[in-house]
Amino acid sequence: MTEARACPALLIGAPASGQGKTTLVAALARYHRNQGRTVRVFKAGPDFLDPKIHEQASGQPVHQLDLWMVGEQECRQRLYDAAETADLILVEGVMGLFDGTPSSADLSHHFGIPVATLIDAGAMAQTFGAIATGLATYHPHLTFAGVIANRVASPGHGTMLENSLPEHIAWLGSLPRENAITLPERHLGLHQPDTIADLDTRLDAAAGLIAETPLAKLPPAVTFASPPAKEPAPRLLEGSRIAVARDSAFSFVYPANLDLLQTMGAELCWFSPLADRDPPPCDAIYLPGGYPELHLDQLADNTAMLAAIRGHHREGKPLVAECGGMLYLLESLTDGSGHRRPMAGLIPAAATLKSRLAGLGLQGATFAGGELRGHTFHYSAFDQPPTMALNAVRHPYGSAGEGIYRDRGLTASYIHWYLPSNPVAAAALFGGHR
């Protein structure tokens, strides 16, 4: 008989991006945490900034759930593990409820997690009910918990919205149009938590609003079946030491990536390309994505670190760079105001930050060890791209995706890899082989 665990759970969806899902999920997490409950939050789809907000709100680690990038088995394992200790599981959806392949609705249906949809009602009245009805009925097998209105102008406006709903759709309350709970944004999304000085004040203010809604009550429990046993990750990095860049310029890395590297035997150490003169002694370097364009002068002026990175590459040691980490290795980088500075010069190309999104979506690439999956999301673009060793493939379209630059031990791309999608291929990037 399959063991199962039950825990109250809810997925927050919306008709589109920008509706306020992150604010609502963070408010729910902080409210229930303040009631003494253990809250585990997950983020549907690829994202780095929203999980940081949810970690601050819940006080618990936040991981991704995605049926393609993460995989069904790992998603099931993470939900099952969370249900053991949590009093509430919350999942923040990605984009619109039915956007993407797989979508947030697919995730909800697959694991039986009810959906509550948040609709920005700031510029609408009775049409609110029509949108809610469409969301509730579009997928006939979706468990629809109800609807929440965001950016409501007044109590009277809220009553109008509630009255627009048909009887079979539950009203779960509303959040006002209130600057005190709004989370600031920049071109890649929300600001990082450590740059929002009053973040806890905003979270507590948002949590206080939850107390006045039906969302203050725990949702019904969902039963999560135990996943099938899987092979442990091979210890292909036993005895290796990997230096991971971590500061305000480079911080976009999945916790699951770091966990996997350690599970495979690697010792992780940390360094700051902004502040340190060189990385600690290591066998490989990992440069995650982030915001190098916001720190151009400090990165360019730290010539000792740039020289150390070049020296590491000359020795042929593994160097894995993702998105912002790759930009750091170019000949130069130009920010959105036209300010250009030289970078490490290991990749014969330059890039410029654009005002419009230049790359978005799930992608996978086939290495010698098999397919490694990830995603891309960037506003910068090459002035003239370098010669790439191979190209990723866009999911689910099958078209050519981001290029992957390789030179001796260097592997660099705009792609943020989800390393657990293929531990063998991941280990090979860092010098580990069967």
- Residues assigned a catalytic role: 323
CA angle 195-196-199, nearest 5°?
A: 145
The DSSP code for 66 is -
Amino acid type, 417: W
DSSP 188-238: TEEPPGGG-TTHHHHHHHHHHHHTTSGGGSPPPEEEEEPPPP-PPPP-TTT
Task: Determine which helix (DSSP H) or strand (DSSP E) holds 360, and give its type and residue range.
Answer: strand 359-367
Q: How far apart are CA 389 and CA 376, in angstroms?
A: 18
How many helices (H) and strands (E) are present in the chain, helices listed first? 12, 26
Q: How far apart are CA 411 and CA 404, in angstroms?
A: 7
Question: Beta-carbon neighbour count of residue 61 at 10 Å?
Answer: 14
Distances (CA, A) of 351 to 229, 321, 380, 406: 45, 15, 6, 17
User: β-pairing, 370-378 with 416-417?
Assistant: antiparallel
Residues 6+ apart with CB under 8 A from 8: 87, 88, 89, 218, 219, 220, 221, 222
Residues 6+ apart with CB under 8 A from 196: 183, 184, 202
Beta-ladder partners of 376: 361
Q: How far apart are CA 197 and CA 257, in angstroms?
A: 28
Q: How far apart are CA 298 and CA 38, in angstroms?
A: 40
Asked whether the beta carbons of 299 and 292 are under 8 A apart, the reply is: yes
